[in-house]
Structure 1
């Protein structure tokens, strides 16, 4: 392909995949055909120009459809949270650290009620989770005891949203060490490489400690799952979180280090032995091989693949004495990656990686033209600014915040990552591979150096103003960036009006307007839109704010924290966690490491349940106290007339949804019943105990599922308005049809955060 059509070809292919992910392959294909037909009706002569690109869009749609087949239903004897023995083939390691392992696999067989092996045909795609580092490699088979935490009962297709990581059927392996038996060990090249990566990871894990261990494993092996959320959040606040994931920065640094060593150490010898040899070309070829080796070590992540292939392409072009079009090389690499694995188009890594390099290719030249002659420092600032703008949409989409000091801090961090972080990491990898006996001696000084490097960034995140750019509606960041690109093109055209570019760029500095604030000395309950999960703000008349549940971990960064900023929340008196499910407690650490929190409370009967127990232990250093609540307690002191806890009691010991905290907030004229994931069996117990459930407003239990909010319970509460939180999951609606019928039958109005965004009751 020539330089001209390669770039629109990439755009059309990516658009086809995104459409298929958002609408489904069938609807996306129909829409593409409609747009193509409409274009022909408007101007028939464009058929020869448009047809190839619409064909590529169709390829993207069809390729995505093949890569995202509907889930396969599991055998009837398998139930949620019931122990079962399973034979699973590990197909890909998604995350592997001492804090947990996530892998994609295929469920080959399970044991039935009688202990007999039953094969599944075809095998069922499954996500394997383990709470520790699982010593298995790609393409191996394991026999493990565990529980299915989630699965689909039908073969209905599942909508893939942004950053969709793994199959919906999840198998959690027991914590017992003997629960995993490694079966067949593969001999493929990929499995042998993964075996070497695992061996290196185990050696580094034993030699290093703390955040430095997680950092080195992340930048060498691409295994960033072990990095503490507080570290990731600190670096995100100053715009340097990109150093935590293998990218072009790391691959280029590795290639440069190897090239430098070859040129300086072995160059004189090579020239002496082969006087006619072009030492520069040999050095570049070896550097390109090193880039490929670094990408292999990192598991060929999108950013590492892109950097390695670009390095090889540049080496090839220079060796032939030809120039290269950077944008075209980027597009060719991206097209190859998307055709091989179309679902990466929805990954944060892909968006960040290609957003950065495209902005460098398209933004740096016009910015340099506007700035005129520049010194090296100005050129570095332009490149840093361009990369920041290119990654801004993905950053805001994922985390809801953009770091205003990022371009300037990166002027310091990026060079030190190249001359300090990567040499140290590569030195440790070399020592662990060639002389593992010496690793325990060289690791301590390297640990100290990297602790200082990482600690300096965490210090900057504390002393610099936090969250200056916060967006409650993340997608809106695309609008000012688009305006900036358009104005930039105008600025370098014959119009010569760079002031337009400056004004458009100023749009990026303006945060999205905040939500209306709750007046002082009044009570209000705000239900936040955080996707699959719960998070509610309770504003009390003493001007203190409480957070009820913290959503999932990713949703906390992507939705909850931006929503809190939009609501004007700068500190929290406390967090109340209703029960131990991850979609209610997963964001706890993200919140307490970002916003000052005084205390945390949770049901007494759920305090020892995972993952709640683990989150509380890690959050303890960041809060003043952690307490438990039981039936009869006052959930929130000095808030309204009463916030009496109605469930659960201290004994007997309920767990999971049955342990959901239920309490009623009562003011002078209003009342709100908050129910967590309360389901029908506990509703019946509350009714039988003649608990006063009546309330003006009701938060529907368990995200509006059919197994909650029974007709008897709704009659006992008799609310005038019910509120449902959550999103459609696995083809199921955000509010079940059966529950909608019950609410309609009783004449109860219902509102959903899925439809309306955040909802507020009050202020009163």
Structure 2
């Protein structure tokens, strides 16, 4: 099993390295034309609905910052977000919650599963959930990270119907293959690289950390488990994307863990309230929605003022970036060996 894991890791790592090298030497000439060519009629319909919802947001508040962040987080409309707001979210390590990603889609999927009482083996339930998942993915513009998440959720849903549990690495590799078969230039997409690096890191690091904690004790303390899982996933994702962020943007956010402990629960509440707001006429829901966004913006603005909230001007070369990932791989292999030795001793 370990050998299969390392084989999958090696294959995915090679794909990521090749994409990084190619990105450094070749940039697609017309990225916008590529996106515009995908399902134009469906895009027009979803664009109209997205604009209607954005207009409805405009009636909730006159604060441009709150309105633009709300539209970005729930509809994928980032055009109205000011440069200062982008900087605040970037330096605090919260840029991934400002732009739609697999995180947002996973939150929605988990909500839908809870509403259906986790009926994973019901064909009707899974069909309805996946229809909503893909509808939201289309509504928000088919961003690479959300498409990746939608494909993975679809694969897991199909496996659950057959009473099987998919191996995360196999599902991730299949998702990468599907995306590259659909569009070979997707490997140049920064969102593609960051999304897969984050998920790959989460898969490997959480598998190691799970062996270090008492699962029965964690299950008996759900709040502690929730905090622990949030911290582990945040650290794991940051380890996976930090070299790429440094390479593409030249920055690193030391306070990313503190930011995620605040931002991710806030985004969960924002998405839940947004879904309710879309299907109900109650103004109080919209007021709560804007209030949560306003508080999040203010808190992140305060965090951005803390000294050393961002380390910039990094810009490692392609070789240095690859060597960092190689170092992470060596660290992971060493930790696995230590765990195996400790288990043998016990």
TM-score of the pair, normalised by structure 1 = 0.38
Map of 2:243 onto structure 1: 393
The answer for unaligned runs of 5 or more in structure 1 is 25-63, 71-89, 94-103, 106-136, 140-187, 268-277, 499-764
- How far does the alpha carbon of each residue in 1:436-488 deviate from its partner, in whole angstroms, 9 at most, with x for none? xx66x753443223211221222222246422x44533344553443232022
Offset of residue 387 of structure 1:
0.8
Mapped to 1, the partners of 2:192 and 2:200 lie a distance apart of 12
Mapped to 1, the partners of 2:116 and 2:251 lie a distance apart of 42
Is the 2:60–2:290 contact (alpha carbons within 8 Å) kept by the matching residues of 1? no
SS at match of 2:72: helix
Change beyond 3 A, Cα 1:12–1:237: closer
Change beyond 3 A, Cα 1:414–1:497: farther
Q: Counterparts in 2 of 1:201-216, with a 5 A limit?
A: 201-208=54-61, 209-216=63-70
Map of 2:271 onto structure 1: 422
Change beyond 3 A, Cα 1:252–1:459: same
> RCO (CA 8 Å, sep 6+): is it higher in 1 or 2?
2
Mapped to 2, the partners of 1:318 and 1:430 lie a distance apart of 29
Map of 1:443 onto structure 2: 286
Mapped to 1, the partners of 2:70 and 2:301 lie a distance apart of 17
Map of 1:189 onto structure 2: 42
Change beyond 3 A, Cα 1:414–1:471: same
Select which of 485, 497, 505 maps to 2:329. Answer: 485
Mapped to 1, the partners of 2:234 and 2:29 lie a distance apart of 40
- How far does the alpha carbon of each residue in 1:534-589 deviate from its partner, in whole angstroms, 9 at most, with x for none? xxxxxxxxxxxxxxxxxxxxxxxxxxxxxxxxxxxxxxxxxxxxxxxxxxxxxxxx
SS at match of 1:401: coil
Is the 1:205–1:213 contact (alpha carbons within 8 Å) kept by the matching residues of 2? yes
Is the 1:424–1:446 contact (alpha carbons within 8 Å) kept by the matching residues of 2? yes
- How far does the alpha carbon of each residue in 1:110-149 deviate from its partner, in whole angstroms, 9 at most, with x for none? xxxxxxxxxxxxxxxxxxxxxxxxxxx985xxxxxxxxxx
SS at match of 1:226: coil
Mapped to 2, the partners of 1:446 and 1:16 lie a distance apart of 42
Is the 1:259–1:286 contact (alpha carbons within 8 Å) kept by the matching residues of 2? no
- How far does the alpha carbon of each residue in 1:471-519 deviate from its partner, in whole angstroms, 9 at most, with x for none? 5333445534432320221122169799xxxxxxxxxxxxxxxxxxxxx
Change beyond 3 A, Cα 1:460–1:494: closer
Mapped to 2, the partners of 1:430 and 1:92 lie a distance apart of 32
Is the 2:43–2:141 contact (alpha carbons within 8 Å) kept by the matching residues of 1? no
Change beyond 3 A, Cα 1:340–1:314: same
Number of matched pairs: 324
Mapped to 1, the partners of 2:185 and 2:85 lie a distance apart of 28
Mapped to 2, the partners of 1:6 and 1:477 lie a distance apart of 20
Select which of 254, 276, 280 maps to 1:404. Answer: 254
Select which of 234, 248, 254 maps to 1:384. Answer: 234
- How far does the alpha carbon of each residue in 1:730-750 deviate from its partner, in whole angstroms, 9 at most, with x for none? xxxxxxxxxxxxxxxxxxxxx
Q: Counterparts in 2 of 1:674-713, with a 5 A limit?
A: none
Offset of residue 238 of structure 1:
2.2
- How far does the alpha carbon of each residue in 1:241-282 deviate from its partner, in whole angstroms, 9 at most, with x for none? 21001111111111222333344xxx9xxxxxxxxxx68635
Offset of residue 396 of structure 1:
1.5
Q: Which has the higher strand share?
A: 1
Offset of residue 336 of structure 1:
1.4
Is the 1:7–1:328 contact (alpha carbons within 8 Å) kept by the matching residues of 2? no
Q: What is the CA RMSD across the aligned residues, in angstroms?
A: 3.4
Change beyond 3 A, Cα 1:291–1:23: same
Mapped to 2, the partners of 1:424 and 1:364 lie a distance apart of 30
Is the 2:71–2:78 contact (alpha carbons within 8 Å) kept by the matching residues of 1? yes
Select which of 280, 298, 301 maps to 1:458. Answer: 301
Is the 1:389–1:481 contact (alpha carbons within 8 Å) kept by the matching residues of 2? no
Mapped to 2, the partners of 1:10 and 1:205 lie a distance apart of 43
TM-score of the pair, normalised by structure 2 = 0.79
Residues 1:373 and 2:214 aligned together: yes
Q: Counterparts in 2 of 1:266-665, with a 5 A limit?
A: 281=122, 283-369=125-211, 371-373=212-214, 375=218, 376=225, 377-418=227-268, 420-431=269-280, 435=281, 442-463=285-306, 465-467=308-310, 469-475=311-317, 476=320, 478-493=322-337
Q: Which has the higher helix share?
A: 2
The answer for unaligned runs of 5 or more in structure 2 is 219-224
Offset of residue 285 of structure 1:
4.6
Is the 2:43–2:138 contact (alpha carbons within 8 Å) kept by the matching residues of 1? no
Mapped to 2, the partners of 1:352 and 1:232 lie a distance apart of 18
Map of 2:92 onto structure 1: 238
Offset of residue 10 of structure 1:
5.0
- How far does the alpha carbon of each residue in 1:196-245 deviate from its partner, in whole angstroms, 9 at most, with x for none? 23333333345444122111211222222321222222222222221001
Q: Counterparts in 2 of 1:736-751, with a 5 A limit?
A: none
Mapped to 1, the partners of 2:94 and 2:205 lie a distance apart of 20
Offset of residue 8 of structure 1:
5.6
Map of 1:222 onto structure 2: 76
Is the 1:317–1:323 contact (alpha carbons within 8 Å) kept by the matching residues of 2? yes
Mapped to 2, the partners of 1:296 and 1:388 lie a distance apart of 27
Is the 1:17–1:342 contact (alpha carbons within 8 Å) kept by the matching residues of 2? no
Between 483-492 and 300-309, report the one with greater CA deviation: 483-492
Is the 1:7–1:331 contact (alpha carbons within 8 Å) kept by the matching residues of 2? no
Change beyond 3 A, Cα 1:337–1:326: same
